[in-house]
């Protein structure tokens, strides 16, 4: 592979020192958030103080206009410290990167952009439902918006609502009650009437995402907060841009790669510090340990090449295809899981003890498997494309 020329940035690059401090400070409280399963509010106050909530807001709205390379660089540093914070932040970055808001009324988007630049404005997509599951696999949502004289009335239930108790905006995927239903996004302020958050999130890992169930009961919305409604046929004729799927694939890859890198760094210290009495030297001096640690290094090196190359291509106007982007997500998350598993193989019982962070990193990295698109969808698409004559 040839050397990739550095990009000319249209934004002020966040310094390495700032990102290193964020990683270090967020890692110091990561166990606390894992045990409490509370929204990591202090982390977002810190991100706001650093001016990083509005990183991808276009410059025309007062933001920094960062693209994929810089957005992923920040997300990776945050994830290495506390990955739930990174997952919540990613959703806001994706909306302001213009991938989901191009059809929104300008004055509505401007309101969200101003919020983000001011250090608020966290937005999350509420899409999954108890009956439907994820809409990625098809079907109409049960959550319904009824037209009223003042706008809309929204009723329904959303599960796995990442960031639920800490968001400033809910972007709710719902249908209308019209004879030919339209489907799309309804913006809801969390302090609107008729909203209840049920504490349903008690998960293996990524516990601070507070992905609870959010129930709407006749929640009133202004008419223009229905920001992008189309019939299912219209959605099929004009699906979201491939860049939206690429942001998702590369951000998920980056976040869980960050978890694996945190695990690798802890393991490096552990192996160098552990000196069994029968050995008289650290575990890091053993050829077998060096070989397995080298495997971890190789897996994470592959991740860096895959993610960085795709992000640079996208920023330069030559993005990978949707199939390629999702294949990167499949490979990078599998590599991240395997890297942490090797750490467990090398440490044995200490690696599974809750007094060591490797156990938490393993629980967190396993959550990469459940993000859409999931493995069967990715590999079926790749296989179908590969078999096409």
* pLDDT score recorded for residue 241: 65
Start-end of CATH 1.10.540.10 domains in the chain: 16-121
* pLDDT score recorded for residue 202: 95
Which residue positions in the chain have pLDDT lower than 70? 1-11, 98-100, 133, 136-138, 239-243
Start-end of CATH 2.40.110.10 domains in the chain: 124-233
User: What is the three-class DSSP state of 316?
Assistant: coil
* pLDDT score recorded for residue 240: 63
Q: Does domain 242-387 have CATH number 1.20.140.10?
A: yes
DSSP, residue by residue, 247-268? HHHHHHHHHHHHHHHHHHHHHH
* pLDDT score recorded for residue 293: 98
Nearest one of 124, 90, 375, 55 to 254, comparing CA atoms: 90
Is residue 254 within 8 Å of 76, Cβ to Cβ? Answer: yes
Phi, psi of 282 (to 5 degrees): -70, 155
Residues with Cβ within 8 Å of 147's Cβ and at least 6 positions away in sequence, in order, are 176, 177, 178
> How buried is 12 (Cβ within 10 angstroms: 0-12 exposed, 13-18 middle, 19+ buried)?
exposed
* pLDDT score recorded for residue 167: 97
Phi, psi of 362 (to 5 degrees): -65, -45
Start-end of CATH 1.20.140.10 domains in the chain: 242-387
Is residue 247 within 8 Å of 94, Cβ to Cβ? Answer: yes
Residue-wise burial string across 348-360, b where 16 or more C-beta atoms lie within 10 A, e elsewhere: eeebeeeebbbbb
* pLDDT score recorded for residue 126: 96
Both tokens of residue 365?
């990295």
Is residue 104 within 8 Å of 169, Cβ to Cβ? Answer: no
* pLDDT score recorded for residue 12: 73
* pLDDT score recorded for residue 161: 97
Q: Domain 124-233, what fold?
A: Butyryl-CoA Dehydrogenase, subunit A; domain 2 (2.40.110)
Q: Domain 16-121, what fold?
A: Butyryl-Coa Dehydrogenase, subunit A; domain 1 (1.10.540)
pLDDT of 108-157, one tens digit each?
999 999 999 999 999 999 999 988 767 766 678 999 999 999 999 999 99
* pLDDT score recorded for residue 277: 84
Residues with Cβ within 8 Å of 67's Cβ and at least 6 positions away in sequence, in order, are 10, 11, 56, 97, 314, 315
């Amino acid at each position: 592979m040839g050397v990739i020329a550095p990009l000319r940035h249209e934004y002020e690059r966040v310094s390495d020192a700032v990102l290193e401090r964020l990683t270090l400070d967020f890692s110091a409280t990561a166990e606390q958030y894992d045990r409490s399963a509370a929204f990591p509010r202090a982390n977002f106050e810190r991100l706001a103080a650093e001016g990083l909530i509005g990183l991808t807001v276009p410059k025309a709205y007062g933001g920094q206009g960062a693209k994929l390379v810089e957005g992923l660089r920040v997300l990776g540093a945050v994830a290495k410290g506390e990955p739930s914070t990174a997952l919540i932040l990613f959703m806001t970055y994706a909306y302001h990167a213009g991938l989901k808001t191009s059809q929104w009324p300008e004055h509505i988007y401007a309101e969200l952009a101003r919020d983000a630049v001011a250090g608020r404005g966290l937005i999350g997509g509420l899409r999954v439902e108890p009956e439907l599951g994820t809409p990625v696999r098809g079907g109409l949502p049960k959550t319904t918006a009824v037209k009223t004289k003042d706008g809309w009335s929204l009723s329904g239930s959303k599960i796995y609502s990442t960031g639920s108790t800490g968001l400033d905006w809910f972007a709710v995927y719902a249908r209308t009650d019209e004879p030919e239903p339209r489907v799309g996004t309804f913006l809801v302020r969390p302090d609107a009437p008729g909203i209840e958050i049920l504490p349903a999130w008690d998960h293996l890992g990524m516990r601070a995402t507070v992905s609870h169930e959010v129930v709407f009961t006749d929640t009133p919305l202004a008419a223009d907060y229905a920001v992008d409604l189309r019939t299912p046929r219209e959605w099929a004729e004009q699906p979201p841009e491939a860049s939206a799927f690429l942001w998702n694939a590369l951000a998920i890859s980056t976040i869980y790669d960050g978890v694996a890198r945190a695990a690798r760094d802890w393991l490096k210290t552990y192996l160098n510090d552990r000196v069994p009495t029968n050995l008289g030297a650290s575990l890091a001096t053993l050829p077998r340990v060096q070989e397995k640690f080298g495997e971890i290094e190789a897996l994470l090196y592959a991740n860096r090449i895959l993610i960085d190359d795709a992000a640079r291509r996208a920023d330069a106007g030559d993005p990978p295809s949707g199939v390629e982007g999702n294949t990167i997500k499949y490979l990078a998350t599998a590599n991240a899981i395997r890297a942490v598993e090797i750490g467990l193989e090398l440490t044995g019982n200490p690696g599974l003890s809750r007094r060591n962070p490797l156990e938490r990193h393993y629980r967190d990295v396993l959550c990469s498997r459940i993000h859409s698109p999931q493995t069967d969808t990715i590999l079926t698409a790749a296989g179908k494309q590969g078999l096409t004559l």
